[in-house]
Amino acid sequence: MVVGDLDPEVVYMVATSEENMWLLLAADWKRRAVIIGPGLISSHNLPRWGTNSRTSPKTSPKTSIIFEIPVVDLGSTDRASTVEKIRAASENLGLFQVVNHRIPVTVMDEMLQGVRRFHKQDVEVKKQFYTRDLSRIVVYNSNFNLHSSPAANWRDTFFSFMAPSPPPPEELPEVCRDIQIEYSNQVMKLGGLLFRLISEALGLNNNHLGDLDFDKGLSIAGYCYPACPQPDLTMGTTKHTDGGFLTVLLQDEIGGLQILHQNQWIDVPPIPGALVINIGDLLQILSNDKLRSMEHRVVASEKGPRVSVACFFGTSLAPSKKVLGPLPELVSDENPPRYRETTFHEYGQYSFSKALDGVPRLLHWRI
């Protein structure tokens, strides 16, 4: 393609790497699109409508304000104070970091290494996982919403549901399957603890959320954010809230994660050994807006590749009639339900179809 000949009728996409250009070109394009690779954008500016600048205001990490993200010590013996810190952070910010969470640093490091190994593999190996079919055990693609988003995010993802029905190990990528299983098991245990603490923070019996099985479904995403030659033109991940109950995020030392607080983008600094916990839309619904699901994003960077691992406690896409809505214990005549009831299935379908398109999904269920 000759870059000088940009055609206004064409949707331009940014591909994150040469490899992905190849993969994406091989994909089943539903509409006319042209892939612009890093080699081209490093010497030519992209038209505005081909970048993420339209959906994500241009704010470089340098302009974000300094603000302390709460760090909760899960090893503390003062349970009341731990619960109180989690309550305050989940109500005000929707995000906190945890230390002394009992997941060994060696397991965390190996998980990040596993994600690096996966993304570094030869295209021919990764090709077998490349799909947009979410019923596959492993879903690997550059952007799951590539056909519907105005511009691509500067990241590649592999994704699997891990619980309650663990996938057959031999179907997971060989270079990271052992650690993917080990890390997911550890995150499930941590989730058990977090759901107990959050139940207490909501003034409920500590097994309340667990008894409703909200801590039983886990999916894992291993991200690679390649170094980006023109970070101001795109986003690592466009602004969004997470759709599930709770996300446990492991990020490497590069940084770039930011949350929107009082109209300012605030860095969530990588802390060695810590995990980032953020409240998802479903906990906001269940708590009838007491807990907040916070908008966040990842800025693109000239440094990279950055890797991160997100574990989502949430619903699966499997048909389920299980009902979701504000918990009866948390509503009253003075505090009536602010969301209509939905089912796991309807929630999963809608929530996934709208992920990362910039529209707050919670509005769909708001009364």
Q: How many residues bind ligand OGA (CB under 6 A)?
A: 11
Q: Pairing relation of β-strands 33-36 and 11-14?
A: parallel
Q: Does 242 bind Ni ion (CB under 5 A)?
A: yes
Q: Does 101 bind ligand OGA (CB under 6 A)?
A: no
Q: Does 161 bind ligand OGA (CB under 6 A)?
A: no
Residue 20 binding: pick among Ni ion, ligand OGA, none (C-beta 5-8 Å cut-off by kind): none
Count H helices, E strands: the chain? 9, 16
Which one among 15, 33, 310, 324 touches ligand OGA, defined by CB under 6 A? Answer: 310
CB of 12 or CB of 245, closer to Ni ion? 245
| Nearest by Cα to 32 from 154, 152, 151, 147 | 147
Q: Does 154 bind ligand OGA (CB under 6 A)?
A: no
Instruction: Check: CB of residue 250 under 8 Å from CB of residue 112.
Output: yes
Helices 79-92 and 177-201 sit at what angle, rounded to 10 degrees?
A: 90
| C-alpha span between 100 and 81 (Å, rounded) | 15
Which one among 186, 237, 342, 351 touches ligand OGA, defined by CB under 6 A? Answer: 237
Shortest Å distance, C-beta 279 to ligand OGA = 12
| Nearest by Cα to 323 from 365, 358, 354 | 365
What residues between 56 and 95 interact with Ni ion by CB under 5 A?
A: none
| C-alpha span between 45 and 23 (Å, rounded) | 23
Q: Does 281 bind Ni ion (CB under 5 A)?
A: no
- Counting every residue written for the chain, the total comes to 367
Shortest Å distance, C-beta 280 to ligand OGA = 9
| C-alpha span between 361 and 71 (Å, rounded) | 28
- Distance of CA 58 to CAs 184, 189, 241, 297, 300, Å? 35, 38, 19, 12, 11
- Angle of CA points 54, 278, 161, to nearest 5°: 90
Shortest Å distance, C-beta 29 to ligand OGA = 25
CB of 40 or CB of 268, closer to ligand OGA? 268
Which one among 249, 274, 282, 283 touches ligand OGA, defined by CB under 6 A? Answer: 249
Shortest Å distance, C-beta 140 to ligand OGA = 15
Instruction: Check: CB of residue 72 under 8 Å from CB of residue 97.
Output: yes
- The residue to which tokens 């060989």 are assigned: 174
| C-alpha span between 103 and 204 (Å, rounded) | 26
Per CB under 6 A, the segment of 32-40, 90-98, 116-124, 249-257 that binds ligand OGA is 249-257
Shortest Å distance, C-beta 5 to Ni ion = 37
Binding positions for Ni ion, rule: CB under 5 A:
242
Please give the residue ranges that form the binding site for ligand OGA (CB under 6 A).
221, 223, 237, 242, 249, 251, 257, 296, 298, 308, 310
